[in-house]
Amino acid sequence: MIFVSLITTIFFVFSGCHSCAEKKETQEQASKMFKENMEKDFIGKPSPDFTLPDIDGGMFTLSEYSDNKYLVIDFWGSWCSFCIAEFPEMKRYYEKYRSKVEFIGIDIDDGVLRWKHAVKKHELPWLQLRDDQTIPKNSPRYLFGIYLFPTTIILAPDKTVLYLFKGETPELYKTLDELLN
């Protein structure tokens, strides 16, 4: 729980709240939501909706995504060696199943320039979003209670959560093969 407090403290130091009381109240609400969501079982339930900026300056809202494909949502950061290590295999699976599944990368805890540099450096061809956590109620990291990286979630075409993988694991790729073959 120290990690959760540290993350929320860092977030709110840079959040731009107008007063200390507002900052403290927002921090407490976000911390409570994050803790509650860490303990939730999302499997078989509708995914929480969120809106995030994409790498080209547009906005992506999950509920507005209308392709009838499975979604693989990968939470990563350029600072996470395990996240970077999984990119080559993820790229292979993206190419293998791109007609049946859409991959979405969500960067956590990187500044805009570092995020864009990492996407370019690692040649990530799928949709890239950035969770800057300025609005915790809309942050997928908070909504899903994600504290371990990488975390990868597979959604059905109707946006029901099918699988949630914490850490780099070959189970993700076995599951994709079983689901999409």
Q: What pLDDT shows up at residue 39?
A: 63
Closest by CA to 94, choosing from 73, 115, 120, is 73
- Tens of each residue's pLDDT in the chain, 181 residues: 455 454 544 444 444 545 566 556 656 655 665 566 556 778 999 999 999 999 999 999 999 999 999 999 999 999 999 999 999 999 999 999 999 999 999 999 899 999 999 999 999 999 999 998 766 677 898 888 888 899 999 999 999 999 999 998 999 999 999 999 9
Q: What pLDDT shows up at residue 113?
A: 96
pTM: 0.80
Length, in residues, of the chain = 181
Number of CB atoms found within 10 A of residue 40's CB: 12
CATH number for region 42-180: 3.40.30.10
Q: What pLDDT shows up at residue 158?
A: 96
CA–CA separation, 145 vs 61, rounded Å?
19
Q: What pLDDT shows up at residue 173?
A: 97
Per-residue CA distances from 13 to 17, 22, 119, 134, 140 (Å): 9, 12, 27, 11, 20
CA–CA separation, 166 vs 83, rounded Å?
11
Question: What residue ranges in 87-132 does DSSP mark as E strands?
Answer: 101-108, 127-131
CA dihedral over 59, 63, 64, 67, signed as positive or negative:
positive
Question: Strand pairing partners for 130?
Answer: 107
Task: List phi, psi (to 5°) of 35.
Answer: -60, -45
Terminal Cα distance for the chain, rounded? 40
DSSP state of 105: E
Helix/strand/coil for 76: strand
